[in-house]
Amino acid sequence: MDAANPAAQFELNEDQRAIQEMTRDFAADRVAPLALEWDHNRHFPSDVIRETGSLGFGGIYVREDVGGSGLGRLDAVLIFEALAAACPGFSSMISIHNMAAWMIDTFGAEEQRQRFLPKMTSFEWMASYCLTEPGAGSDAAALRTRAVRDGDHYVLNGTKQFISGAGESDVYVVMARTGEDGPKGVSTFIIPKDAPGLSFGPSEKKMGWHMQPTRQVIFQDCRVPAEDLLMGEGAGFRIAMAGLDGGRLNIAACSLGGAQAAFEKALAYSGERNAFGKPINQFQALQFKLADMETDLQASRMMLYTAASKLDRKTPDAGTWSAMAKRFVTDTCFNVANEALQLHGGYGYLHEYGIEKLVRDLRVHQILEGTNEIMRVIIARYLVGR
């Protein structure tokens, strides 16, 4: 095993290793030194996020003709894992933006691609994704935000809940109901921040992800040009679910990067901390714990990279593997980070050590992009149906 490059056994190619190294360098230089300060002050570093546009992170798997990097899902996983080692919340915000950009690139008309994506891939415009509502979380097809056709516009009314980047993002990819109840009545709209009738709730006070704002997105007779409907009426639920396959891999990568950072802190601390006359890493009970944590991280990495490879190859079971990877990696990596805190003893509970922040940041990954209970539903349906 190459300890300096835990992904080496997956046989990454030269380009992928270069992407990994570039991202690690940026994260170590521009993110890691400020992450605790951003967390403490609840500061949204939009300037540093936008800097990643010059690295190609504004459109990682968007086509190159609109400024995208044209990379694959495995490449993206490497990027999000490396960024999350410095700050999971920072990495997650870039993931959300990329999910929105990918939807426009994949399902948008050519005019929409050319109008929105050049500024999104450069990160001149930042994007948020709006699906969840106060009464529609896991049951996404029950969303109630409604869009009614009025001449050459749609008029939207409703509220979206738990929207990362809300109030800061420049573009919102929004799921709204244009037709019947259920998934067939859902459509997708691209809505700029300055749309009349669009407003935002106060920033939520959260357990983690303090460096990015989470607000309601509120539509009150919000008028949206019909030309900003994505792919026609009724296509929204399919667009949303397709986007979530990749989003689940991304958030799993964020968990893996954060947990790896927590583990490395614990490993170093265990060699420095003395108890009963010797470093605590000389006690077999702690050695076994470290061995289990390393095994869990490597198992998570292999499952995640395999799932990303399947999505790149569009295998029939790619969606199921995305759900399995999201469930396994986010659960496992939260546990690794929590164990890293425990190995620090009381110091792990202090903000300055950075461990408690990682635990707080990783907890929400078991909830968003589909709860891990819903991941089990997806996996079980595949098994029974097969």
- Catalytically active residues are 369
Separation in Å, CA 4 to CA 21, 78, 95: 11, 15, 25
- Type of residue numbered 3: A
Distances (CA, A) of 10 to 176, 254, 255, 303, 322: 41, 18, 19, 11, 18
Main-chain dihedrals φ then ψ at residue 107, nearest 5 degrees: -110, -10
- Beta-bridged to residue 172, according to DSSP, are 128, 191
The CA distances from residue 165 to 39, 169, 202, 217, in Å, are: 15, 5, 12, 10
Alpha carbons 264 and 213: distance in angstroms, whole number: 28
Round to whole Å and give the CA distance between 341 and 337. 6
What single DSSP character describes residue 72? -
Q: How far is CA 55 from CA 38, 49, 62, 100, 258, in A?
A: 22, 11, 14, 18, 21
Q: Which token pair is 160?
A: 């979206």
Do residues 131 and 140 make contact, with C-beta atoms less than 8 angstroms apart?
Answer: yes
Q: How many CB atoms lie within 10 A of CB 142?
A: 15
| Sequence-separated contacts (24+) of 42-45 with Cβ below 8 Å | 42/203, 42/210, 42/211, 43/211, 44/168, 44/211, 44/212, 44/213, 45/90, 45/211
Q: Where are the alpha helices (DSSP H) in 140-233?
A: none
Q: Which of 139, 369, 111 is nearest to 248 (CA)?
A: 369
């190859």: which residue's tokens?
Answer: 313
3-class secondary structure, 286: helix
